[in-house]
A and B are shown apart, each in its own frame.
Chain A
Amino acid sequence: MEKNTSEFRMGLIDAIPICLGYLAVSFAFGIQASEAGLSVFQASVMSLSNVTSAGQFSSLDLIVTNATFAEMALLQLVVNIRYMLMSTALSQKLSPKVGTIHRFLIAYGVTDEIFALSVTRKGKLNPAYSYGLIICSVFGWVLGTFLGAFAGAIMPHRLISALGLAIYGMFLAIVIPDARESVPIMMVVIGAMAMSTIFTYAPVLKNISSGFRIIIVTIVIAGLAAVLAPKIDEETADA
């Protein structure tokens, strides 16, 4: 019991960079949502029930153009399918003993950032840690949406712009220390950045949505790494 409390608190603290980054991103979302005609309440409900930046931003176009629900469902599937890959990786971090209810709750908070912290944690993942991450992050996500939709015009833009770096700084802080210790991981990091750069700027390729770009890069680079540098199993020992 005591362990769960400290894991929960650890999750809350570790998620502070996520919370800051989400504030910035969801603030921008709140502004756009109110421009698209959503009320402050509707924008906040969307953030609370979806917790997905790319999915929410892309939904606004469809709402404005009065698209069908089927189109909306398809768009969300395409934009968010990467979460399926993340959930699969995360399923291996949970002890088989972790029950269905815990799995339902953890699934709610599978975002890029929460996934990153969960999956790189040493040993098995304690659901209490996940709940700490989720509560702190979603708080920032919904608060930012609310503020953006409610008072977009009066917040200092300079601050919002700088906060945009928070999430990427955090990603680097997760990836780089492990890359320093392992040549294959370093190659994965460099290879994925290079490939994603090509897909962002090259003609034709740049038309691929960012969600798919990340899926393609992940599958190609992680697949190559798995073939060229298969991981010898030593991680189960500390599980």
Chain B
Amino acid sequence: MHNIYGYIFVMAIVTYLVRMLPLTLIRKEITSPFVKSFLHYVPYATLSAMTFPAILHASDDMRASIVGFAVALVLAFRKKSLLTVAVCACAVVFVVEWFLI
């Protein structure tokens, strides 16, 4: 049996290096229009890919998740704050699950 702290150490080092190297090595502003545009779109693509379809499996009941997703979409479209959208999505799921399971 390997030492668990050994595993934790290896994990932490690898994960930290992945995060740290670009931040410390890339100091200058990137000038290539393609790369700039690409990086501009990266967060939207990443966040959308992470949200859907994962949000459907985020609670115990997919029907509740779908309602939560719809509520979050509407509130976000109305430019409500991050906290409002997040808390309302959770509250709706809580209520819907209350009735369903």
Contacts and interface: CB of A to CB of B under 8 A. Distances in A.
Nearest to A229: B37
Contact of B2 (A69, A85, A169, A214): A69
A169 B93 CA distance: 11
Nearest to A196: B49
B83 A49 contact: no
Nearest to B79: A177
A161 B59 contact: yes
> Which of the four size classes fits the interface of chain A?
35 or more
Contact of B11 (A50, A106, A190): A50
A42 B90 CA distance: 30
Nearest to B61: A161
B53 A221 contact: no
Interface residues of B, number: 79
Contacts of A104: 20, 24
Contact of B29 (A42, A88, A96): A96
Given A96-B28, A172-B76, A173-B80, A233 B36 contact: yes
A87 B27 CA distance: 12
Interface of A: 14, 16-17, 20-21, 37-38, 42, 45-46, 49-52, 55-56, 59, 62-63, 66-69, 72-73, 76-77, 80-92, 94, 96, 100, 103-104, 106-108, 110, 112, 115-117, 119-120, 157-159, 161-180, 184-185, 188-193, 195-197, 200-201, 210, 213-214, 217-218, 221-223, 225-227, 229-231, 233, 235
Given A90-B23, A214-B46, 19 more contacts: A20-B87, A21-B86, A42-B8, A45-B8, A69-B7, A84-B22, A87-B20, A92-B39, A107-B24, A112-B47, A165-B93, A166-B90, A168-B54, A172-B51, A176-B73, A177-B77, A193-B49, A221-B41, A231-B40
